């Protein structure tokens, strides 16, 4: 029962099919925006909760700032404004009035307000009020919020005009401390994306032309999707004193001298859900890593005779109660019994499309034998994908089962990445020939037509134009540099020493 579109047949349409069939989100009547439905939002809640625990464990506190930011705040930091100007939504009027039977903007604001594209400008204003002495530092905060960026080509989860995210902002007394914070949070992102989302990433620094507007350095984690394209899964920015100077975030240091603070910012968004889809989903629909599944175990009652329904549901309730005392990944097992008045086969396929990790079908035969029919989403269609086991064994093994599924999902994605990061392309001619091909779905265990190339870059000033002409990007400069020389794959110049990841991207 494959989806209408497959990965090999039409990857972009397959992606939309997965979201639709899993009932995760839909396009809103508000142009360019999305409605995140319960299953999609449940995944976001789980991602959010895992991150939030990590942030608090590293001494960050949550707070909230206004979504409306005075235009003058952005004008203080010219480079920052230039980077976001084309995506900004601007509020110019405060109310509507009726004229000739039509509603029209009425009261013009003295100063336009920008609907939050990111919060550096307004948070810097608050920092300037909070920080007076070196004793006030560091300031470590995080905000869970929505953001508006006026995307021209919206795509569910990947690019919408409004999306959800978190943004961390910190202020420090020294550049060293701020840089350490930037890398620390980058590693938190890597940890969560790899261990909770089961998505392997490549870690590195962005080249100069790809930096966050106004940053000194931008670091990132890059993930490979099943069509070989890259998805930026998270960024962490060392802002130096740029925003501190524009917003006057100054303090009296230990030597009683005035000094500007050093700041950082870092963020991930609901784009991660798009990454999970394109990393793990298959031609049957969504596959959700157990750590971020809203429900890890789904019970589907199979009732052929109405008089058996109460008995079957009572048996399932007993199983659920026993599972409630078990933990996986340090948390209680999340279960749901689907009691809707629908055919059991329809409910099974609905939860299969949603990607629930474990689906248990329970009928009278199972009740009488003290058994459970267990179906693992990851093994759908394989001989190991369905098994009938004793109820006691199922309850006692559920934690190991879920943790094994999580690891198998990561291992599968990691093997795909390892196979499709090309390191054997050494010349400009080979490079151009490689990227002249089209991206196709990467079949597991086989190399795709186009994916990532790890090769040399000279840092040429014309790099951005050359990349645009080839419709590729430099995703990052990996931390683990080889220290060797070679031909720049982009320009053909000899003696290039910097290793970079080249790829097409979302």
> Are the CB atoms for 144 and 166 separated by under 8 Å?
yes
The pLDDT value recorded for residue 419 is 97
Cα–Cα distance for residue pair 323/399, rounded to 1 Å: 9
Same domain, 124 and 248: yes
Residue 187: how many CB atoms within 10 A of its CB? Answer: 15
Same domain, 61 and 208: yes
> Are the CB atoms for 229 and 505 separated by under 8 Å?
yes
Q: In degrees rounded to 5, what are phi and psi of residue 501?
A: -105, 120
Same domain, 456 and 369: no
In a domain, residue 6? The reply is: no
The pLDDT value recorded for residue 113 is 97
Same domain, 154 and 241: yes
In a domain, residue 411? The reply is: no
Cα–Cα distance for residue pair 60/45, rounded to 1 Å: 19
Same domain, 268 and 329: no
Q: Where are the beta strands (DSSP E) in 6-124?
A: 25-27, 34-36, 61-62, 68-70, 89-93, 96-99, 102-105, 108-115
Beta strand pairing call for 139-148 and 61-62: parallel
Q: Is omega for the bond preceding 138 within 30 degrees of 0, making it cis?
A: yes
In a domain, residue 52? The reply is: yes
In a domain, residue 371? The reply is: yes
Nearest to 402, CA basis, from 301, 239, 325, 291: 291
Q: Where are the beta strands (DSSP E) in 284-362?
A: 297-301, 327-328, 331-332, 335-337, 358-362
The pLDDT value recorded for residue 16 is 98
> Are the CB atoms for 172 and 253 separated by under 8 Å?
no
In a domain, residue 442? The reply is: yes
The pLDDT value recorded for residue 455 is 98
Overall size of the chain counted in residues? 506
Successive 10-residue mean pLDDT values, the chain, 506 residues: 91 98 98 97 98 98 97 82 84 90 90 96 96 98 97 95 98 98 98 98 96 95 98 98 95 97 98 98 98 98 95 97 95 96 95 98 97 96 91 97 98 98 97 95 94 97 94 97 97 97 98
Same domain, 213 and 139: yes
CATH classification at residue 268: 3.30.930.10
The pLDDT value recorded for residue 7 is 96
Same domain, 376 and 445: no
* N-terminal to C-terminal alpha carbon distance within the chain: 29
In a domain, residue 409? The reply is: no
Burial of 488 (0-12, 13-18, 19+ CB in 10 A): buried
252 SS3 class: strand
Number of folded domains in the chain? 3
Cα–Cα distance for residue pair 268/111, rounded to 1 Å: 30
Cα–Cα distance for residue pair 446/432, rounded to 1 Å: 22
Same domain, 304 and 207: no
Same domain, 305 and 387: yes
In a domain, residue 217? The reply is: yes
CATH classification at residue 367: 3.40.50.800
The H or E element that residue 349 is part of is: helix 344-354
443 SS3 class: coil
- Please give the model's pTM, rounded to 2 decimal places: 0.96
Same domain, 248 and 107: yes
Produce one character per residue of 285-322: b if its CB has 16 or more CB atoms within 10 Å, e if not: bbbbbbbbbbbbbbbbbbbeeeeeeeebbebbeebbeb
Cα–Cα distance for residue pair 220/42, rounded to 1 Å: 26
Q: Where are the beta strands (DSSP E) in 417-484?
A: 421-422, 452-457, 473-478
Q: Write out the residue range of the structural domain in which residue 327 sits.
A: 290-404
Same domain, 351 and 431: no
Q: Which DSSP letter does residue 438 get?
A: P
Sheet holding 386-390, edge to edge: 335-337, 297-301, 358-362, 371-376, 386-390
Same domain, 320 and 302: yes
């Amino acid at each position: 029962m494959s989806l209408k579109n497959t990965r090999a047949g039409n990857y972009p349409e397959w992606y939309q099919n997965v979201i639709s069939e899993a009932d995760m989100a839909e396009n809103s009547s508000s142009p360019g925006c999305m409605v995140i439905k319960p299953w999609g939002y449940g995944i976001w809640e789980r991602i959010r909760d895992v991150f939030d625990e990590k942030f608090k464990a590293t001494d960050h506190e949550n707070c909230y700032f206004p979504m409306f930011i005075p235009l003058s705040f952005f004008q203080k930091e010219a480079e920052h404004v230039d980077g976001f100007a084309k995506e900004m939504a601007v509020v110019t009027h405060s109310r509507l009035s009726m004229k000739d039977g039509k509603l029209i903007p009425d009261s013009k604001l003295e100063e336009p307000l920008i609907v939050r594209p990111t919060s550096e400008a307004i948070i810097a204003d608050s920092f300037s009020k909070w920080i007076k002495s070196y004793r006030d530092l560091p300031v470590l905060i995080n905000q869970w919020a929505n953001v508006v960026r006026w995307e021209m080509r919206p795509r569910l989860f990947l690019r919408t005009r409004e999306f959800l995210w978190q943004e961390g902002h910190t202020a420090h007394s020294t550049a060293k401390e701020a840089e350490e914070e930037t890398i620390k949070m980058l590693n938190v992102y890597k940890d969560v994306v790899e261990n909770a989302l089961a998505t392997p990433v490549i870690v590195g620094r962005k080249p100069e032309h790809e930096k966050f507007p106004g940053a000194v350095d931008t670091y990132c984690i890059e993930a490979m999707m099943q069509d070989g394209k890259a998805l930026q899964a998270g960024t962490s920015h060392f802002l130096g004193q740029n925003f501190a100077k524009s917003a006057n975030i100054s303090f009296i240091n230990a030597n009683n001298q005035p000094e500007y603070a050093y700041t950082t910012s870092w963020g991930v968004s609901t784009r991660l859900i798009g990454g999970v889809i394109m990393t793990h989903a298959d031609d049957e629909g969504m596959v959700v890593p157990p750590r971020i599944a809203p429900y890890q175990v789904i019970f589907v009652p199979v009732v052929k005779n109405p008089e058996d329904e109460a008995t079957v549901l009572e048996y399932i309730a007993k199983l659920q109660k026993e599972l409630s005392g078990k933990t996986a990944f340090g948390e209680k097992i999340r279960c749901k019994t689907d009691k809707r008045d629908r055919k059991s086969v329809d409910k099974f396929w609905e939860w299969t499309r949603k990607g629930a990790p474990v689906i248990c079908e329970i009928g009278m035969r199972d009740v009488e034998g003290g058994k459970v029919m267990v179906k693992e989403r990851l093994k759908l269609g394989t001989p190991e994908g369905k098994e009938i086991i004793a109820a006691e064994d199922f309850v006692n093994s559920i934690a190991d089962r879920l943790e094994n599924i999580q690891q198998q999902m990561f291992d599968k994605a990691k093997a795909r990445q390892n196979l499709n990061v090309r390191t054997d392309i050494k010349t400009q001619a080979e490079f151009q020939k490689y990227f002249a091909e089209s991206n196709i779905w990467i079949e597991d265990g086989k190399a795709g037509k186009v994916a990532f190339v790890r090769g040399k870059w000279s840092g040429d000033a014309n790099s951005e134009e050359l990349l645009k002409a080839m419709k590729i990007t430099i995703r990052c400069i990996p931390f683990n540099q080889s220290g060797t020389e070679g031909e720049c794959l982009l320009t053909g110049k000899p003696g290039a020493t910097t290793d970079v990841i080249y790829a097409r991207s979302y």
